[in-house]
Structure 1
Amino acid sequence: MPETEAKRNANGMHRLDDVVRNALVSTHQRFALGDGPAIRYPADVAPFAAIADSGTDSFAALRTLIEPQRPVALVTTDELAPPPGFSVTRRAVVLQMIWQGTRDRHDELQHVRLTEADVAEMLALTAATEPGPFGPRTIELGSYFGVRSQAKLVAMAGERMRLDGFTEISAVCVDAAFRGRGHAAGLMRLLISTITARGETPFLHVFTSNRTAISLYRTLGFIDRREMHLTVLDRAQS
Structure 2
Amino acid sequence: MMNNDSVLDDPVGQSLGGPHAHLARRLGGAVTYSTEVATFSAVPVQPEAEDWADLAALLGPGALADMFSCPAAPPPSWEPVFSLAGRQLIWTGGRLPDRRGAEPDSGLVVLGKDNVSEMLDLVSRTEPGPFWSRTHELGTYLGVRAEGALVAMAGERLRPPGWTEISAVCTAPEARGQGHAARLVCALAARIVARGERPFLHVAETNSRAIALYERLGFRTRRQVTFRGFRTP
Provide TM-score, normalisation by structure 1: 0.90
Structure 2: give runs of 5+ residues left out of the alignment.
Answer: none
Answer whether contact 1:18 1:75 (CA < 8 A) is retained.
no
In 1, the alpha carbon distance for the partners of 2:47 and 2:137 equals: 30
Q: Deviations over 1:164-202 (max 9, x none)?
A: 110000000000111000000000010011100001000
Residue 97 (structure 1) aligned to one of 74, 82, 89: 89
Q: Which runs of 4+ in 1 moved over 3 A?
A: 67-70, 106-109
C-alpha change, 1:62 and 1:17, in structure 2 (3 Å) is same
**CA distance 1:51–1:75, shift in 2 (3 Å):** same
Distance in 2 (alpha carbons) for counterparts of 1:32 and 1:15: 18
From 28, 33, 39, give the equivalent of 1:36: 28
RMSD: 1.7
> For residue 73 of structure 2, what is the amino acid of its counterpart?
A
Structure 1 residues 101-110 or 127-136, which shifts more? 101-110
What does 1:139-154 correspond to in 2, within 5 Å? 139-154=136-151
Answering whether residue 220 of structure 2 is matched by residue 223 of structure 1, we say yes
CA–CA distance in structure 2, aligned partners of residues 181 and 168 of structure 1: 23
Q: Name whichever of 68-77 and 39-48 sits farther off.
A: 68-77
Give distance in 2, aligned partners of 1:112 and 1:32: 28
**Aligned mate of 1:46, from 13, 38, 42:** 38
Q: Indicate the residue corresponding to 1:128 in structure 2.
A: 125
Distance 1:119 1:60 in 2: 34
Letter in 2 for 1:170: S
Partner of 1:11: none
Aligned match of 2:185: 188
The answer to whether the 8 Å contact 1:23/1:29 transfers is yes
Secondary structure at the aligned position of 1:192 is classed as helix
Equivalent-residue separation in structure 2 for 1:219 and 1:38 (angstroms): 38
Q: Give the aligned residue type for 2:171.
A: V
The match for 2:68 is 75
Q: Deviations over 1:125-150 (max 9, x none)?
A: 11111101000000001000000111
- Uncovered stretches (5+) of structure 1, i.e. residues with no partner: 9-13
Q: Residue 89 of structure 2 aligns to which amino acid in structure 1? A: M
TM-score, normalized by length of structure 2? 0.91
| Cα distance, 1:86 vs structure 2 | 1.6
Asked if 2 retains the 8 angstrom alpha-carbon contact of 1:99 and 1:202, the reply is: yes
Amino acid of the structure 2 residue aligned with 1:154? V
8 Å contact kept, 1:32–1:42: yes
8 A contact 2:171–2:180 mirrored in 1: yes
Task: Specify which of 59, 63, 79 is matched with residue 87 of structure 1.
Answer: 79
Contact 1:33 1:39 in 2 (8 A): yes
Task: Give the aligned residue type for 1:172.
Answer: V
Does structure 1 conserve the Cα–Cα contact (< 8 Å) formed by 2:96 and 2:217? Answer: no
Counterpart-to-counterpart distance in 2, 1:44 and 1:69: 17
What is the percentage of aligned positions where both structures have the same residue? 41
Q: Equivalents in 2 of 1:164, 1:235: separation in Å?
A: 29
Stretch of structure 1 that moved more, 41-50 or 97-106: 97-106
One-letter amino acid of the structure 1 residue matched with residue 65 of structure 2: V
* Structure 1 counterpart of 2:169, one-letter code: V
Which structure exhibits the higher relative contact order, with contacts defined as CA atoms closer than 8 Å and separated by 6 or more residues? 2
Deviation at 1:230, TM superposition (A): 1.1
CA distance in structure 2 between the aligned counterparts of 1:120 and 1:76, rounded to whole angstroms:
29
Work out the number of aligned pairs and report it: 227
- Structure 2: how far apart are the matches of 1:214 and 1:76? 18
Partner AA of 2:80 in structure 1: V
